[in-house]
Amino acid sequence: MKLANLRDSSADSFRSAVPYSGRTLLLAIFLLVNFQSAIAEETDHLHDILHQIEQGSPQLAMSKANAGAARAGVAVVRSKYWGQAEVFGRDTHYNNSRLVNPLSPPVNFATVAADRNQFAYGATFTLPVDINGKINAGLRAQEHLGRSADYEVESSRLNLFAQAVSLYRGLQNIVGARQALTSQQQALLKHYEITEMGIRVGRLARVELLRIDAEAKAVEGRIAALDGDEARLRANLAALMNREQFSTLIPLPDQTPAGLLLPDFDQLQSRSDIKSADSQIQAADESLSGARREWLPSLSVQATTMRNQGYSAAGDNTWSVTGQLSWELWDGGRRFAQADQAHAKKEMARQQQLLIHNRARAEFDAARAGWKAAALQYQAAQAGLKAAIETEYIQANRYRNGRLSSVDLLDAEAALAQARSNVSSALTAWWLADDQLNLAVGKPPKAYTQPTAAVSGEKG
């Protein structure tokens, strides 16, 4: 709204009667507010912001990379089933001539090949036979860790959404408060004109202008505080979105959330952090099982093909297949220590699981209670706004009839501005509570899947 639209044909008398400093202050404040509303032409809705965070957040990218590493770890462990093949070359120098090994029968010792310098080359393939189940236990443990990492990606995503929602709703709250203060500034401009006219006809003292001027400065201070809070919230939101700055407009919600659904605690089992903790427990179980299987014998099969010959003597080709059953009898306490370590990690995972379950229950109970409280707060704010509108209307009539001072009227208008701000704040708080309730049961905010705002009344 342009400043000129708020002033009528009495503008000349207004300029002549109102003190220069007070008039300049009001004009500067009002022009600043209108300038701030004009500089941001684009609008970002919560739906857009959540998707930008999902696509560009370094924290989420880091979680996805960690999940990729965990999945690669599954392939690493699974590869142990297939053994390993290697080629080799060997160069040996003895202190005197030695038989070239191996010798193929029949052996003619008269013409046997001997050389002090010999070399060999060939290939070896080793295949472990998992008779003790150690490889299988390790594979299952890594698979559970991979699933846990995947759940952690979702948990990280929802945590980012929770931060974004809190910042976004905080900005909406500031927008609503600034609109209420702007309305109060408009009323102050009109009061300057009315008070000036009253001074000219002798009905009011010039001190009334000073009171209006003081109120205008108080409004300016509140707007300055809002500007500081807005800059902080926008900087934090820009960091979440991996952007240098976030300066677009934030729209206010114009509808209340849908009716409260009361999910029970069993539905919390679908939360990604609970699923991740459960997978960690299963991985710890398998790791402990693998540590205990270290005491069991191991079996491997090795096949080798090789050619060995001397530098100046003929050689021979050979191949062999070897099966080896081994049972480690002494290791200096290594296996006991590994079992103790695996048991301690399992206990740590169990306590972590308990902690996450308790936290999930507390978040759910708090979110459900917060939703109900926010709904009641909004109803109370609506009733307060209705009363403030009626009070301001009565006081304005009394003021026009000369039965009320400007101070009392300013108080009524300030109360009306505060009531409007309370309604906007309460509606924003209700939506924040609704977002938190969805997050508490492991779901993204409604805005994430509703870009057309069929429910929320705001795009996204």
What are the beta bridge partners of residue 118? 92, 310
For residues 163 and 233, is the Cβ–Cβ distance under 8 A? no
DSSP SS3 for 223: helix
How many whole angstroms separate alpha carbon 456 and alpha carbon 435? Answer: 11
Where is average pLDDT lowest: 30-44, 282-296, 345-359, 443-457? 30-44
How many whole angstroms separate alpha carbon 354 and alpha carbon 360? Answer: 10
Where is average pLDDT lowest: 24-28, 320-324, 330-334? 24-28
State the Cα torsion 326-331-337-339 to the nearest 10°: 10
- Tokens read off for 423: 């309604």
| Greater pLDDT, 456 or 228 | 228
Please write the tens of the pLDDT for every residue from 203-214. 667 777 788 788
The rounded percent of the chain whose pLDDT value lies above 70 is: 83
How many whole angstroms separate alpha carbon 336 and alpha carbon 332? Answer: 9
How many whole angstroms separate alpha carbon 406 and alpha carbon 395? Answer: 10
- Among 419, 420, 26, 16, CA closest to 200: 16
What are residue 201's phi and psi, to 5 degrees?
A: -95, 0
> CB 259: neighbour CB atoms within 10 A?
6
Residue 6 confidence class, pLDDT cut points 50, 70, 90: very low
For residues 143 and 279, is the Cβ–Cβ distance under 8 A? no
Question: Which H or E run contains 453?
Answer: none
CATH of 3-70+140-282+346-449, one of 3.40.190.10, 3.40.640.10, 1.20.1600.10, 3.30.590.10: 1.20.1600.10
For residues 129 and 277, is the Cβ–Cβ distance under 8 A? no
For residues 81 and 276, is the Cβ–Cβ distance under 8 A? no
pLDDT of residue 340: 95
- Tokens read off for 112: 């046997």
Sign of CA dihedral 159, 161, 164, 166: negative
Residue 77 confidence class, pLDDT cut points 50, 70, 90: very high
For residues 171 and 235, is the Cβ–Cβ distance under 8 A? no
Q: What are the residue ranges spanned by the domains of the chain?
A: 3-70+140-282+346-449
pLDDT of residue 107: 61
The answer to whether the bond into 445 is cis (omega within 30° of 0) is no
| Greater pLDDT, 128 or 184 | 128
Please write the tens of the pLDDT for every residue from 367-408. 989 999 999 999 999 999 999 999 989 888 887 777 776 667
Mean pLDDT of the chain: 82
pLDDT of residue 162: 94
How many whole angstroms separate alpha carbon 60 and alpha carbon 66? Answer: 10
Q: State the residue for tokens 């308790």.
A: 358
The CA distances from residue 284 to 288, 339, 340, 434, in Å, are 6, 11, 12, 36
How many whole angstroms separate alpha carbon 29 and alpha carbon 32? Answer: 5
Where is average pLDDT lowest: 72-81, 233-242, 305-314, 371-380? 305-314
